[in-house]
Amino acid sequence: MKNIHVAIIGIGAIAEAVHLKYLQENEHVIVNALVDMDLERAIAVAKKHDIPYAFQTIDEMFAQTHVDAVLICTPNATHIPIAKKAAEQGIHVFIEKPIGTNLEEVEGYLTLAKEKNVITMVGMTHRFRRDVRIIKEYIDNNTFGNLYYAKAKLFRGRGTPKGWFTNKELAGGGALMDIGVHVLDLAWWLMGKQDVQSISGQTITGLGNYETKYVSAWTSKNKQLNAGQVMDVDDFASAYIRFKNGAVINLEIAWAIHGEQDEGIQLELLGEQGGARLTPLTIYKEENGIQTEVSPTYVDGDTFKEEINHFVHCVRTKEQPLIDGEQGNHILKMLLGIYESSQIQKEVVY
């Protein structure tokens, strides 16, 4: 496949600034259509970026134009219903994280996608970071030996987003679903994508709709969704996840706390022969019987650009993406396990 025709479903602020930008910069992509429930916004963004079609529904798009792939950037609960419609047409699918909010629904979609030979990629941007790739190379070279523990954490001081993100019906969860999905995926992937054995977790709405002065919050472009500013999701989550190979992940997530804000994902990996830390990137190991600490030198890349280009490459070559639908489903299984453990106040065993 030489060039591919692509549509973006859900043209919010990030979709315009990131997904659309890098799609249009890719020489193998023609952005053919934008779809958004806010038709006026879809038309305005399409006109601004010289895109021929703008629609209010995906069904209208299918009836009037052709695309080879879609990028789904809508509220979490809508991901799979849209993805199923695309897969039924044989259209390849990029789904922003998380893959969905319901395991049975996701598994039904994955079965359909397999039947239709549809590629599914989930947007886990942090896998494309340069510092992460450096750690992955150490792991692949077995520098750290058997990895047995990961501590993964991301705390924001006042970082609860405004809009549909705080509405459980639309988002499926709060901080855990929004930023916890990235942190958990990164730790799980680097630990070797192990099978989960048990989960003990707690989710809390601690600060809720806080009214802190002199702080800003990211706000969804779609004013129709959650106009009443419903806040019925978690803004803090903690979990202890055991895997069948004996490894564990300790996860801590917060949108808002009375405490110090992290400057990006904080990750510690411990292995029998070495370890690593983010952020900053640090490698720990023994050399000649001496404990050493190394800070690799590297130039940051553009993770979003690399992620989008990877999806385009996979659609054109039919290669499997770095984060496919099955992996996205495994992450969702763990996220929902944390919520279940919190609800029943017991460890969930698989």
Q: Going from the N-terminus, what domains does the chain have, and what CATH number goes with each?
A: 4-123+305-321 (3.40.50.720), 127-304+332-349 (3.30.360.10)
pLDDT for 227 beyond 70? no
Neighbouring CB atoms inside 10 A of 214's CB total 5
pLDDT band at 222; cut points 50, 70, 90:
low
Q: What whole-number percentage of the chain has pLDDT above 90? A: 92
Q: For residue 141, count CB atoms less than 10 angstroms from its CB and return exposed for 0-12, middle for 13-18, buried for 19 or more.
A: exposed
SS3 86: helix
Q: What whole-number percentage of the chain has pLDDT above 70? A: 97
Q: Quick one: pLDDT at residue 149?
A: 98
* Distant-in-sequence, close-in-space partners of 84: CB < 8 Å, separation ≥ 6: 108, 109, 112
Q: Quick one: pLDDT at residue 2?
A: 83
pLDDT band at 221; cut points 50, 70, 90:
low
Q: How far, in Å, CA of 187 to CA of 253, rounded? A: 13
Q: What is the pLDDT of residues 10-35, one digit of tens each?
A: 999 899 999 999 999 999 999 999 99
Q: Quick one: pLDDT at residue 264?
A: 95
Q: Quick one: pLDDT at residue 229?
A: 80
Among 162, 124, 170, smallest CA distance to 10 is for: 170
Buried b / exposed e over 44-61, threshold 16 CB at 10 Å, is ebbeeeebebbbeebeeb
Q: For residue 69, count CB atoms less than 10 angstroms from its CB and return exposed for 0-12, middle for 13-18, buried for 19 or more.
A: buried
CB 43 within 8 A of CB 26: no
Kind plus residue range of the DSSP H or E element containing 139: helix 130-140
Query: What is the overall mean pLDDT for the chain?
Result: 95
- What is the rounded average pLDDT of the residues 205-219? 86
pLDDT band at 214; cut points 50, 70, 90:
confident
pLDDT for 170 beyond 90? yes
Q: Quick one: pLDDT at residue 225?
A: 66
Distances from the Cα of 258 to the Cα of 231, 261, 335, angstroms: 19, 9, 24
pLDDT for 259 beyond 70? yes
Q: Quick one: pLDDT at residue 223?
A: 64
pLDDT for 63 beyond 80? yes
Neighbouring CB atoms inside 10 A of 313's CB total 13
Q: How far, in Å, CA of 199 to CA of 240, rounded? A: 6
pLDDT band at 346; cut points 50, 70, 90:
very high
User: Angle at the Cα of 283 (from 278 to 286), degrees rounded to 5?
Assistant: 150
Q: Tell me if the bond preceding 81 is cis, omega within 30° of 0.
A: no
Q: How far, in Å, CA of 233 to CA of 226, rounded? A: 13
* Distant-in-sequence, close-in-space partners of 266: CB < 8 Å, separation ≥ 6: 151, 152, 153, 154, 278, 279
pLDDT for 178 beyond 80? yes
Q: How far, in Å, CA of 22 to CA of 310, rounded? A: 11
Q: Could you say which DSSP state residue 123 is in?
A: E
Q: How far, in Å, CA of 170 to CA of 76, rounded? A: 6
Q: How far, in Å, CA of 80 to CA of 108, rounded? A: 9
pLDDT for 59 beyond 90? yes
Q: How many residues does the chain have?
A: 350
Q: What is the pLDDT of residues 150-167, one digit of tens each?
A: 999 999 999 999 889 999
Among 322, 257, 288, 292, smallest CA distance to 126 is for: 322
CB 226 within 8 A of CB 171: no
pLDDT for 237 beyond 90? yes
- What is the rounded average pLDDT of the residues 57-68? 96
pLDDT band at 301; cut points 50, 70, 90:
very high
Both tokens assigned to 92: 């390849």
> What is the Cβ-side half-sphere exposure of residue 275, based on CA atoms within 13 angstroms?
13
Q: How far, in Å, CA of 90 to CA of 67, rounded? A: 10
CB 123 within 8 A of CB 101: no
Q: What is the pLDDT of residues 73-91, one digit of tens each?
A: 999 999 999 999 999 999 9
